[in-house]
Structure 1
């Protein structure tokens, strides 16, 4: 299953010919101090994502004390369809915008792995068009929400293979890791299994986020 996940992700460079997408209606969840919004990788199982989202959320619960945490799994196909990442982009922005309106004191930690990193990139205004399973931007978090995003945690981020990274407003709040040899995020990388080992980085990422909240 893990090998299939990686090889499938490598088989497509997405982005062309996207239709306009409308985000599904999202209702706000109960208000907590911090909500972890996670976009899983291509075909990745698990509640928030077996390789990244679930381990990061578990690590955050241990590192952040005195604050209540909740989580939201971005609702999108996470498959190889050309509109998959764009659907995730629309859902993430729609959910966070609604959640911020209903819970004005809530802060957010955005987590993205592989295609999910494309989803997060797009949502904070960094286009993943041309990256593996990427897409043009269809929605961005509004300026009113930007201060509420405490941290952005990205793993195996495909835009890095294009020589891009998170810059601007969110740069200082971003943890963006690419394992050595990971062909999804490293141009010329040849170690496909490196793309599947990011669970080992969950603790470091959680420590980074804990320092921002």
Structure 2
């Protein structure tokens, strides 16, 4: 007997659950090479969620980058997966924080005209927030700020996209100079980011928001 997979947000959750079960829940993603020239016009830097499979992350990173590529007319893009454990280790977020800042700083020096879109999902949103100077200590799989994007590079961060941001559970989010450049998406009832949420499936639903997020990012480039 064959069963049809659900569509939309439900399908995304099923696919991730199946991937995690198939690997015993211990999924790691290797650091990806830039998908275009080293000095593309735009570098999309993605911090995936805890144990999330996929090149950039099947829930958020992969669909969001694909959507950005479709909308980005007349410009080149590259993508980078932040090289960090994305595990429940208490040092995972701080490792990601360092890795993200090191990558953006190095790219900014190598490619003076390059701009950046930062993308973070779940624990990866904590990584992105920390890199902007917003501590995630006290949040789920959070940690203190150990590195921040240099002030000289701040104007080149065109957009920040965070999904299922654990800091939202504490009533906090991205503030300061990056606030107007940030799209913070928290699904209704998401157990990780909604203060009243209890739904794991809601936390796995963000692939459906890829087009909206890409429009926001490209509109600020």
TM range (shorter): 0.7 to 0.9
What is the aligned partner in structure 1 of residue 129 from structure 2? 121
- CA RMSD, 1 decimal: 1.5
Relative contact order higher in (CA < 8 Å, ≥ 6 apart): 1
The residue that corresponds to 2:157 in the other structure is 149
Cα deviations across residues 52-99 of structure 1 (Å, max 9, x unaligned)?
A: 000000000011100000000000000010000110000000010010
183-192 or 46-55: bigger deviation: 183-192
State the secondary structure of the residue aligned to 2:80.
strand
Matched with 1:194 is 202
Mapped partners of 2:57, 2:174: distance in 1: 22
Counterpart in the other structure of 1:105: 113
Q: Give me the whole-angstrom Cα distance separating, in 1, the residues matched to 2:187 and 2:152.
A: 34
C-alpha distance in structure 1 between counterparts of 2:125 and 2:137, whole Å: 12
Query: Does the 8 A contact of 2:16 with 2:59 survive in 1?
Result: no
- Would you identify which runs of 4 or more consecutive aligned residues in structure 1 move more than 4 Å? 3-6
Unaligned runs of 5+ in 1: 7-28
Q: Identify the residue that residue 206 of structure 1 maps to in structure 2.
A: 214
**Is 1:81 paired with 2:89?**
yes
- TM-score using structure 2 length: 0.84
Deviation at 1:165, TM superposition (A): 1.0
Q: Deviations over 1:176-197 (max 9, x none)?
A: 0000000100113111100001
> How many residue pairs align between the two structures?
191
TM-score for both structures, normalised by structure 1: 0.87
Q: Partners in 1 of 2:150 and 2:195 — Cα distance?
A: 32
CA–CA separation in structure 2 for the residues paired with 1:4 and 1:185: 23
Match of residue 10 from structure 2? none
1:4–1:187: structure 2 CA closer, same or farther, 3 Å change rule? Answer: farther
**How far apart, in 1, do the equivalents of 2:158 and 2:66 lie?**
17
> Which secondary structure state, in structure 1, belongs to the residue aligned with residue 183 of structure 2?
strand
1:176 maps onto 2:184 in alignment: yes
Measure how far apart 1:4 and its partner are: 8.6
Q: Deviations over 1:22-59 (max 9, x none)?
A: xxxxxxx7101000000000000001111000000000
Q: Partner residue of 1:9?
A: none
1:3 positional shift: 4.2
Mapped contact 2:19–2:53 kept (Cα < 8 A): no
Alignment partner of 1:136 is 2:144? yes
Question: How far apart are the structure 2 equivalents of 1:67 and 1:153?
Answer: 20
CA contact (8 A) 2:56 2:62 kept: yes
Paired position in structure 2 for 1:2: 16
Q: Distance in 1 between matches of 2:54 and 2:16?
A: 12
Could you tell me which runs of 5 or more consecutive residues in structure 2 were left unpaired when the two chains were aligned.
1-14, 21-36
